[in-house]
Structure 1
Amino acid sequence: MTFAVRMRIPTGQGGNAGQVSIDIDYNSIISRPCADARDGFFWTAVTTRVPKNVSNLNVTIWGNTDAVASDITIDRAVLVTGQIPRDLNTLLV
């Protein structure tokens, strides 16, 4: 399963702003911080295998994992099976 998010983080935000995660039965797989991606839209994603017997699955977009206020803009988020996220917007054209 892959969770991908297109976002913008303004200059001046913390180094851990804009991470995403897939939470499976309360175990989190969190994306790496994108500290160099500022003032433009970019994609960040996280991928993991989901067991057949999973009882709980959540996805999270973190404003900042440092527990401080952050300013991020989300353009789109997609959750897909497999490792290659597909942007639904381009499929509808």
Structure 2
Amino acid sequence: MLGVCIGADRAEGFLTAKRQLLRPLDDAAPEPELAALERRVLEEANALGIGPMGMGGVTTLLGVKIAARTRLPASYFVTVAYLCWACRRRGLRVPTDGPLQWLN
């Protein structure tokens, strides 16, 4: 996953980019221009052949989520945050008398 914030200052840009990582994979940006940019970055990154762990393959990114914020006229920050498989966590409850329960 790749989270991107275009605009804002450094602090808000970092928080906004990190928040993009919480969006569902099938979610697209509400602005058509940003949704198109998300698709383009995803397609071009996956066409590089880097693959998982840099070992080659067709899937380098699972998703790209981009948001835009207001900015100062003198600066135009673009902040990128990434989430790799090692950062993903999920819980599982295993009751003795029932089905497994996945925890979010």
TM-score normalized by the length of structure 1: 0.31
Task: Work out which of the two has the higher radius of gyration on C-alpha atoms and give 1 or 2.
Answer: 2
The structure where strand makes up a greater share of residues is: 1
